[in-house]
A and B are shown apart, each in its own frame.
Chain A
Amino acid sequence: MNKEQKPTVTEKPSDMLLACVVTRGKGSQLMNLLRREGASYAVSTFAEGTIPSHILNMLGIAKTKKELVFAFINREIEETCYQSLAHEMKLDQTGHGVAFSIPLCNHPEPPAETKLAATFIIVDKGRGEDVLDLLDELGLRGGTLISAFGGASMTDIRFNLPIQPEKELIFMVAPKEPLPNMLKTLDEKLSFSEPHQGIAITFAITRAIGLYSEEKKGK
């Protein structure tokens, strides 16, 4: 992680994590916007997004360069943050990026029931696309791919030295209903329940904007 900035002093402690995925190059603008709105901390990293286009996928051009921004905010500024995101970054229109909120542990109220959940999947490098294909078969699209390093133990030895294995992290927001089925499929097809095969976690999100959905497409 980089482009860190000294946290601006806010009165209220942060209790939400705001995650945004935007086109590469828009990250700085986005972080400035969030800091202006009172986010206590904002970091960005590069990621790759997928396009829901079968023709481009056939050609292998289905990747777009994205930037992923995480910011810590207090629940009281959530509303104004989303308004600015809609106005200035045009996130209320499909195709300009997505943003969603994850309540942190110190969030006082139990997370409100939404139909959506976020999923994190970690696999060895090279298997990320297998996972994306599998998700695609289940009708889950719009995953974001991030390069990562590390593991539970530094088991890999290369040239007599222990190394950090390369990983891929897939990040996705999807409706809650198909998620249990997704976990089952990941286990069946990619044997996630065996050690060193992959990790998948899902968690509740309280609010989202800019998601690509079949409903919107119909309108």
Chain B
Amino acid sequence: MNEKLKETLLSIMPITVMVLLIHFSTYAALDSVLLTRFIIGAVMMMIGLPIFLQGVDMSIERMGEQMSGALVKSNKMIIVLIGGFILGFLVNAAEPDVHIFSRQFAALTAPELSHWIFVLIMSTGFGLAVAAGLLRIIRNIKMRYFMAIFFGLLFVLTLFTGEEFIGVAFDTYGATTGAIATPFLLALAIGVSSKTRRSTDEAAESFGILGIGSAGAVLAILVQGVLLKDSNVGAIPDLAEVSSRTLSHGAFFLQTLRETVGEVSLGLSPILLSYAIVAILWIKPKKRDIRRIGIGAIITFLGLVIFLTGVYFGFLEASREVGTQLALRGEMWLPLAVGALFGLVSVFAEPSVAILNTQIEEETSGSIRGKTVLWTLAIGVSLAVTISILRILIPEFRITHALLPVLGLVIALCFVAPDIFIGIAVDAGGVASGTMAAAFILPYAQGIAKNTVGADPLIDGFGVITFISMIPILSMLVLGFIYRVKARKAEQNQSA
């Protein structure tokens, strides 16, 4: 229990201390309302995070693992593929961020259509990609070829898509994999991989499912963007930016709580429902398992609701306020430096990152340390936020100027990094751009954009998540490359 407490403190404390430091340094002082909410939010995150992670360990991961068992047991490829598609589709369609981005995309391209059509397109892309990812695991197709093709397609489509769509389309890479989908899909893929293992060195092949799924969703949206290119008539809707400061603490808290309860219930329901069906028909779990998964699901629900309520209640507006005040000071280095630091510390507080890191350690039996992965991601996100803020401050800096080189580098590195790192990298891209990116970094960037001459908070807002998901992929691949060079040197030393 002691270890868990330490872990939680280490994940939430950095971001809390960072904001408080900026507050007390008076570079961007928060008023008493925001400060109170911020501190309450931080405490809730510290309580919610370990509860959530415990619940995930007991239920979500177990459900993913058992479902993978049911799929593999069928011994029919077509069932694995259909099962993968349905699960991917449902999990994606239940992701709250997917609905937000679908609404924006609909407004941008075809305002006459319902946003549900885009949810359908995105989820179909995601589901098909998840099925392809499972096929890859069973058929033992190398991750590098798979990802090089996916990112090659993304690269080409980016060249043919209008600038306005690119940010929205790539933002979906991060939106598709939330805190509940991440552990479920990881456990599903790892389960399928270990149940079809042929030699002992195949742990490498179990990662990548999140990245493949997300890339599939982005592909589907980009294709849609190319097809709808001429019908660009809509305007981007203003994100709900109504200040909650007029509300009392209690009223705002209840409103936030209601939203998160809805969000978490929606996210959990497809997994619980599909598990219930599969369990009754095929798995027939033991009583002990049913009890554990049931209790675990309740713990997951409570933990995530507490955590998310804390983030939305305390962090969202505080970071927007910090962004606003820093931008108003008119010094360019300030928002950049604070952005880089925010990027760094926000990764530590991201629940999905914690989940991915545990899985990496488990699967590699500790040979790739979670700490190394954490810092690599933190540096990647830090760089990503810096680039995003630069883009806001310099109007000539367009999204493709940074995105195309990044995509090119990712494709190139796919051929030199070790296979396991390619899987981890594309998964990491999706988890790095989770709750904290959407509810802490994005509002910060919007706060800056709103108060910078020549910046458009709506246009510049898109693309922040894009970089937060794409650049960690790059940094993880670089880490993989370093591992490989080091391993080769060690080999040479041994043979010499």
- In the docked arrangement, what's the CA distance between A158 and B291, Å? 30
Q: Which of A1, A2, A60 has the most CB of B within 10 A?
A: A60
CB of B123 to closest CB in A, whole Å: 26
A149 / chain B contacts, CB cutoff of 8 Å: 194, 197, 200
Is the pair B75, A158 in contact by a Cβ cutoff of 8 Å?
Answer: yes
* Inter-chain contact A158/B365, CB cutoff 8 Å: no
- Distance between A67 CB and nearest chain B CB, rounded to angstroms: 7
Q: Which residues in chain A, 1-35, are within 8 Å of chain B measured between CB atoms?
A: 1-3, 6, 23, 25, 27
How many Å lie between the Cα of A3 and that of B366 in the bound state? 8
Least distance between B61 CB and chain A CB atoms (Å): 12
Is the CB–CB distance between A46 and B361 below 8 Å?
Answer: yes
- A60 and B365 within 8 A (CB): no
Binds B, one of A103-111, A161-169, A182-190, A195-203: A161-169
Shortest beta-carbon distance, A46 to chain B, in Å?
Answer: 5
In the complex, whether A61 has a CB less than 8 A from a CB of chain B is yes
Residue from the list A1, A3, A61, A159 in contact with B196, Cβ < 8 A: A159
Q: Is the CB of A3 within 8 A of B295?
A: no
Set of chain A residues within 8 Å of B494, measured between Cβ atoms: 6
The answer to whether A163 and B366 have CB atoms under 8 Å apart is no
Cβ contacts under 8 Å, A61 to chain B: 54, 58
| Interface assignment of A44: CB less than 8 Å from any CB of chain B | yes
Question: Is A45 at the interface (CB under 8 A from chain B)?
Answer: yes
- Of A59, A67, A163, the residue contacting B198 (CB under 8 A) is A163
Q: Verify A46–B58 contact, CB threshold 8 A.
A: no
Contacts of A44 in B (CB 8 A): 365-366
CB < 8 Å neighbour of A60 from B58, B199, B361 = B58
Determine if A129 is an interface residue (Cβ-Cβ < 8 Å): yes
Closest to B202 in A: A164
Closest A residue to B285 by CB, please name it. A126
**What residue of chain A has the Cβ atom nearest to residue B364's Cβ?**
A2
B138 within 8 A of A: yes
B243 at the interface (CB under 8 A from A): no
- Inter-subunit contact A163/B365 (CB<8 Å): no
CB-based contact A60/B288 at 8 Å: yes
Shortest beta-carbon distance from A32 to chain B in Å:
14
Residues of B contacting A: mostly: helix
- Shortest C-beta distance, A143 to chain B (Å), equals 16
- In the complex, are the beta carbons of A159 and B292 less than 8 A apart? no
B292 nearest CB neighbor, chain A only:
A60
Contact in complex: A129, B288 (CB < 8 Å): yes
B195 is an interface residue with CB less than 8 A from chain A: yes
One digit per residue, 1 when the CB lies within 8 angstroms of any chain A CB and 0 when it does not, for chain B 353-370 equals 000000001101111000
Is the CB of B77 closer than 8 A to any CB of chain A?
Answer: yes
| B3 at interface, CB cutoff 8 A | yes
* Residues of A with C-beta under 8 A to B292: 60
Distance from A59 Cβ to chain B, minimum over Cβ atoms (Å):
6
Residue-wise interface mask of B (198-210) relative to A, using a CB-CB cutoff of 8 A (1 in contact, 0 not): 1110000000000
Q: B323 at the A/B interface (Cβ < 8 Å)?
A: no
Q: Can you name the residue of chain A whose Cβ is closest to the Cβ of B66?
A: A126
Partner of B366, one of A46, A129, A158, A166: A46
B72 at interface, CB cutoff 8 A = yes
Residues of chain B within 8 A (CB-CB) of A161 are: 196, 198
- B195's contact among A6, A27, A166, by CB below 8 Å, is which? A166
Q: How far is the CA of A67 from the CA of B292 in the complex (A)?
A: 24
| Given A2-B367, A159-B77, A46 contacting B362 (CB threshold 8 A) | yes
Q: Closest Cβ of chain A: how far from B366's Cβ, in Å? A: 6
Asked if A23 contacts B3 (CB within 8 A), the reply is yes
Residues of A within 8 A of B200 (CB): 149-150, 164
From residue 35 to 70 of chain A, which have CB atoms closer than 8 A to chain B?
44-46, 59-61, 67
The reply to whether B365 and A1 form a contact with Cβ atoms under 8 Å apart is: yes
Interface residue? B296 (CB, 8 A): yes
Docked-complex contact A45 and B365, CB < 8 angstroms: yes
A57 to chain B, nearest CB (A): 10
**A158 and B72 contact, CB distance less than 8 A:** yes
The minimal Cβ–Cβ distance linking B100 to chain A, given in whole angstroms, is: 35
Interface residue ranges of B184-224 to A (CB < 8 Å):
194-200
A218 to B75, CA, bound (A): 53
- Chain A residues with CB under 8 Å of B196's CB are 158-159, 161, 163
The answer on a CB contact under 8 Å between A67 and B199 is no
Docked pose: A187 CA to B367 CA in angstroms: 37
A45 to B203, CA, bound (A): 14
**B365-A159 in contact (CB<8A):** no
The distance in angstroms between the C-alpha atoms of A159 and B81, with both chains bound, is 12
Known: A60-B288, A129-B288. A46 touches B365 (CB 8 A): yes
Contact B296 A60 (CB under 8 A): yes
Min C-beta distance of B373 to chain A, whole Å: 14
CB neighbours (8 Å) of A2 from chain B are 364-367
> Which of B3, B58, B75, B194 contacts A166 (CB under 8 A)?
B194
A167 to B198, CA, bound (A): 14
Chain B residues numbered 120-144 whose CB sits less than 8 Å from any CB in chain A? 138
Query: Which B-chain residue is minimally distant from A130 (CB atoms)?
Result: B286
> CA–CA, A164 to B194, complex, Å?
9
Determine the chain A residues whose CB is within 8 A of the CB of B3 once the complex forms.
23, 25
CA distance A129 to B295 in the complex (A): 18
A164 touching B198, Cβ below 8 Å: yes
Flag B58-102 by CB within 8 Å of A: 1 or 0 each: 100000000000001001010000000000000000000000000
Q: B367 contacts which of A3, A59, A60, A150 (Cβ < 8 Å)?
A: A3
Task: Across the interface, name the chain B residue whose C-beta is closest to A63.
Answer: B57
User: In the complex the two chains form, what is the Cα distance from A3 to B364 in whole Å?
Assistant: 10
Residue of A nearest to B1 (CB): A64
Taking each of B199, B292, B296, B494, which has the highest tally of chain A beta carbons within 10 Å of its own beta carbon?
B292
Question: Once the chains bind, are B295 and A60 in contact (CB under 8 Å)?
Answer: yes
Q: List A contacts of B75 (CB < 8 A).
A: 158-159
List of A residues within 8 angstroms of B199 by Cβ: 164
Can you give 13 A-B contacts (C-beta < 8 A)? A2-B366, A2-B367, A44-B366, A46-B362, A59-B295, A60-B288, A60-B291, A67-B366, A158-B75, A159-B77, A162-B198, A163-B196, A164-B198
Interface residues of B (CB under 8 A from A): 3, 54, 58, 72, 75, 77, 138, 194-200, 288, 291-292, 295-296, 361-362, 364-367, 494
Given A164-B198, A166-B194, 15 other A-B residues pairs in contact with their CB atoms under 8 A: A3-B367, A23-B3, A25-B3, A45-B365, A46-B361, A60-B292, A60-B296, A61-B58, A149-B200, A150-B200, A158-B75, A158-B138, A159-B75, A163-B197, A164-B197
10 closest Cβ contacts across the A-B interface? A60-B292, A2-B367, A164-B197, A45-B365, A46-B365, A158-B196, A163-B196, A2-B365, A159-B138, A60-B58
